[in-house]
Amino acid sequence: MHTIDVRGLAKAYRGVPAVRNLDLAVPRGEIFALLGPNGAGKTTTVEILEGHRARDAGTVRVLGEDPARAGYAWRARLGIVLQTATDAAELTVAETVRHFARYYPNPREVDYVLDACGLTEKASARVRRLSGGQRRRLDVALGIIGKPELIFLDEPTTGFDPEARRQFWDLIRLLASDGTTIVLTTHYLEEAETLADRVAVIARGEIVAEGEPDTLGGRATAEATVRWTDANGVHTKQTGTPTALINQLSSGTEELAELTVSRPTLEDIYLELIGGRP
């Protein structure tokens, strides 16, 4: 059974479609990234999956239940890290995490969560004194304290420095290895490429491409760009058979300098897919 199963999802605001006939299936234990520009329908889709927004049409099953009708027991199986969150500024970090742990029937150990999120040294600090990146780590800690089966992460590493971002990636991989399903929305394409088993690109409320990061939008079979330098200057050529071209170039006696072979990056494919569209 899929952790998330969506068929024909639709939502409009004042007659303007935000999501159109969207289908989505996410297996258990998968890290799934939903990409798209602002206004594309990502937030509406995720809010419907979380049970925070009503849909106009379609069927939705999350952890086997309809989010629009599911109760407390179902919500306790979810972890949600919002892009912005409010907090009890006068509590310490440890007090905040411990307080949220009481909402769940089988929470993780507070000390484990603090360590996993890089907050052990800030455990006794008041929340109001945290930096932006530290507050973001606290958001993540609150999202995973309940030992959820499914986690929604909305721009989770905003404000993280590069080292903290990579530590967080390790945490996400660890959670997924335990069978936790993770739905990630991010503007960091490197993050999606590094973490996600599959990605989907949404534009104008529709999924325009879906697949593994390496193959999305025909990326794996796209023509390669071969670039080299010789006595006549810099040369660039697009080809579907880069090995044959390199063999041909190497058959001569002239030395080739700065030889590179590249295929479209995930960012190249993403920008092509959205075509400048919200």
Domain layout of the chain by residue ranges: 1-77+149-156+176-221+265-278, 223-262
Which range is least confidently modeled, 56-60, 86-90, 214-218?
86-90
Length of the chain: 278
Judge whether residue 278 has pLDDT over 70: no
Residue 9 belongs to what H/E stretch?
strand 4-13
Arithmetic mean of pLDDT, 111-115: 93
Arithmetic mean of pLDDT, 176-181: 90
- Amino acid 17: pLDDT: 94
pLDDT band at 80 (very low <50, low <70, confident <90, very high): very high
Is 134 in contact with 64 (CB distance < 8 Å)? no
**Which residues share a beta bridge with 10?**
57
Fold of 1-77+149-156+176-221+265-278: Rossmann fold (3.40.50)
Handedness of CA 114, 189, 133, 278 (dihedral sign): negative
- Amino acid 97: pLDDT: 95
d(CA 49, CA 32): 14
d(CA 22, CA 31): 19
Judge whether residue 75 has pLDDT over 90: yes
d(CA 222, CA 137): 38
Q: DSSP states of 240-268 as a string? A: S-HHHHHHHHHTSSSPPEEEEEE---HHH
pLDDT band at 253 (very low <50, low <70, confident <90, very high): low
